[in-house]
A and B are shown apart, each in its own frame.
Chain A
Amino acid sequence: MSRSISTSALKRKRPESNSLNDSLVDADRAVFNVIKSKEDMGIWTRDIKWETSLPENVVNKSLKSLLNKKLIKEVVNIKNKGRKHYMAAEFEPSKEVTGGAWYVEGNLDKELINVLKGLCLKIINSQKVVTVDGVYDFLKKHKVTTFDCTKQQIAEILNSMVLDNEIIEVKSTGLGEYHSFPIGTICYRIASGAGLGKGLKIGAMASIPCGMCPRISQCTPDGIISPSTCMYYKKWLDIEF
């Protein structure tokens, strides 16, 4: 079997794992080898069964004993949180498995994101116009964060703030407040509406009950849902007074 050859090659390089491997029973070893061969991607239990062609109960037993010996660990795969994935203990889960820097144990790290957003907003507020590099350098120089942020991460944060309409993306014109940036550089600045505490502008349609109504498509003058009996309008008028 080609797999056993490749594992034997591994064995030669790492004598200590060699001895560990020796102490395992055959089934455990087969399972462990399959898991290890997947490196930082991990593997799903059913795939282990399929690749080792062992019956389910044997695989489960092996997994249990390997977990006890701390040779493998369970990891959460972002794409299929319900499925149990295993990985050899010495590997760190790859980006594809964890979902990238923003995920902690398979969940989106909203706290981290919000903290970073707040920081970026403060920086932009104080500097008026910034670039990704500017924010990154600022964070680095002042050691604001206890962890390392990549430029890529900062760019992602700023991008999501643009989508939130908190800041806007502009191209430097080289004039006025953009004088320190070469023409054409992508800069970020506060959106004028949000910056003045006005919040987002609410459109004409969105400010009446029909604009928010999830049932508008079923609403007819003589139907069960009709404007004359509409509860949303009643509530709306109560608030308006």
Chain B
Amino acid sequence: MVTQHGIKLAVYLVSSFYGDHNSKVCECLIRRGTLTLAQIIRFTELSRENVRHCLLALIHQNCVQAFSIQQEGAFGEAPKIVTHYMALFDNIIHHMRFPKFIVIVKEELGEECEKVFEALLQHGRLSFSQIVDRHKQTVSKEENFNVDNIQESFTKLVNGRFVERCPAPEPFLAPPSEEETPAKKRGAKSSKVREVSETIEQRALAAAAPMESIRFLVETHNWSDVSDKNNAEKLTAVTIGKKRKQDFLDTDGGLLDKDEKKEVLWRVNFEEFIRRLRHKACIANVMSRLNNECGIVLSAILELTRSSETKVNTGSTASVSINAVYDEVIKKQGGLGMNLERIRACLVELGCEMPTIRIDEEYSIDLKSIIELAQNEEVESIVLKRYGREAYRMFRFLSKSGRLHETDKIADTTFVEKKDAIKILYKLWKDDYLQMEKITVNGARQTQFLLWKVNRQSLWEHVLDEMYHAALNLRLRIADELEQEKEILQMPKDKVTQVEELRKRYERLKKVRIIYESSLMNLDDALMLFHDF
């Protein structure tokens, strides 16, 4: 689900991080979907050279994925293999969250790992030797430079699943099955084709992803040759596309050196961070809604089951036995005094059913419902702020019941004057927060009833779009403030501190920036709540 303002935000992010050309290519890809190089050149009206550079940079920053498919040739020509490029919207938005990711790594693995991790964030994709090289440059002479330390940090990052092997640069997708080909050949714009092409993108991602068994596998140096051969074998299908790519890498004079082809490239595993942030959000919600003890129990269970989660938005956790939960709980801060009875009480509050016979007690927590509650809270608080208390009550009534209700019924249940009720409902409807249906009854006299309902799916999309919009606005405001105070920022620091007026302006800027940036980070939490979790 990519909304209009989501696209705007993504494009703005790319342009502020990587410049206007990149953002142009990116916008073209997000808005028009998967394209070939020639198409991108045509739509963006940039030079071939520029587009190539942009694509290379974007691939390197994990914003774009290439894949090749076989296309039917024109009359009499052999089918040819064409490389397509697709924008990875989520990964672009993740760029906004890098500070959060860094904090997680710092908290869990310490500063040494943080440095290695930052390098990966900054450069997108690096091989281990590149990480070492980069580290050499940044380390001052006094400090001891030790490759083993870096190796250790790096291994920790991979073991913690914070870093993963890069996906294949250009997986080859086998030609679509026979029923699909006619539609494809005609190049028609029917919706069916779009469905097919969507699956193509998903297929491309799936094909590009490294196998789960090697995804987090760090090899010692002796093995690298062997693995290279394996890789090469695995990628034989790609040769044609790859060759082309390598050609142009060579002609570019190498963002990537030739040697590097032998080395495994690594990148940050965004999925793991989103998973952790999701868990954090669940725990925070439970703590504020229920109590701290429930939060402790939930975090213990998540700790135990995290590694078995296969996708980010998994519905509920794997089942864990009560004893395992207990062992984990008492390790937690504040969990030492808890006994089995209290843990059970928490589990019930978290929505678990107690078995009647306590043999092999196992529990699983429904994370989806926690996320849903958190989403409700967010939307309801917007309604409260924007439309007032009575609207809040009416909205909650409709949202809870989840079906159509007549105006009078709503007014009666929520104790709102009927005259006001219809006004509020109308306002909510006008802003797309409610859905309305008119029903006309032909009795003795014709009467019209208005029925109202909260349509979660469309409303969630609407709210998400508004949030993207707000996030973009916040970023624009930050940029504006920095632009306005440019002269102070460019002045030498001691000069600013000397003049009272300048110092005040500087202080103000600092405060404003903190407010904006912390609001943006909070808003980003809400964005993830609706988009990723």
Contacts and interface: CB of A to CB of B under 8 A. Distances in A.
Interface of A: 78-79, 81, 99-100, 102, 107-108, 110, 113, 156, 159-160, 163-165, 173, 175-176, 192-193, 200-208, 210-214, 216-217, 219, 221, 227-228, 230, 233, 237, 240-241
Interface string B365-397: 000000000000111111011100100110011
A216 B519 contact: no
A241 B392 CA distance: 29
A219 B473 contact: yes
Contacts of B508: 241
Contacts of B290: 192
Leading 10 A-B pairs by shortest Cβ distance = A210-B470, A227-B473, A204-B522, A203-B381, A203-B378, A204-B526, A206-B381, A206-B385, A163-B393, A227-B476
B348 A173 contact: yes
Given A200-B381, A201-B377, A205-B466, A160 B288 contact: no
Contacts of B382: 203, 205-206, 211-212
A75 to B, nearest CB: 16
Nearest to A107: B417
Contact of B477 (A99, A207, A227): A227
A228 B473 CA distance: 8
A205 B378 contact: yes
B291 interface: yes
A216 B378 contact: no
Contacts, number: 128
A23 to B, nearest CB: 34
B489 to A, nearest CB: 18
A204 B515 CA distance: 13
A207 to B, nearest CB: 7
A202 B289 contact: no
Contacts of B526: 203-205
B477 A204 contact: no
Interface stretch (B26-34, B72-80, B408-416): B408-416
16 contacts: A102-B412, A108-B415, A160-B415, A163-B413, A165-B396, A201-B288, A204-B378, A204-B522, A206-B381, A208-B523, A210-B469, A210-B474, A211-B386, A214-B386, A216-B466, A240-B515
Interface of B is mostly: helix
Interface bracket on B = 35 or more
Contact of A211 (B400, B470, B477): B470
Nearest to A208: B519
Contacts of A204: 378, 519, 522-523, 525-526
A86 B505 CA distance: 71
A206 B384 contact: yes
Interface string B456-476: 000000010011011011101
B413 A159 contact: yes
Contacts of A160: 393, 413-415
Nearest to B395: A163
Contacts of A200: 381, 384
Interface of B: 288-291, 344-345, 348, 354, 377-382, 384-386, 389, 392-393, 396-397, 400, 408, 412-419, 431, 463, 466-467, 469-470, 472-474, 476-477, 480, 508, 511-512, 515, 519, 522-523, 525-526
B351 to A, nearest CB: 11
A192 B413 contact: no
Nearest to A214: B386
A112 to B, nearest CB: 10
Given A201-B381, A205-B378, A228 B480 contact: yes
Given A160-B393, A163-B397, A210 B466 contact: yes
B377 A203 contact: yes
A192 B522 contact: no
A163 B391 CA distance: 11
B288 A208 contact: no
B412 A219 contact: no
A217 B480 CA distance: 21
A176 B345 contact: yes
Given A102-B415, A205-B378, A207-B522, A228 B477 contact: yes
A202 B381 contact: yes
B523 A205 contact: yes
A173 B344 CA distance: 11
A6 B322 CA distance: 76
A142 B508 CA distance: 58
A99 B522 CA distance: 44
B387 to A, nearest CB: 9
A234 B385 CA distance: 18
B345 A228 contact: no
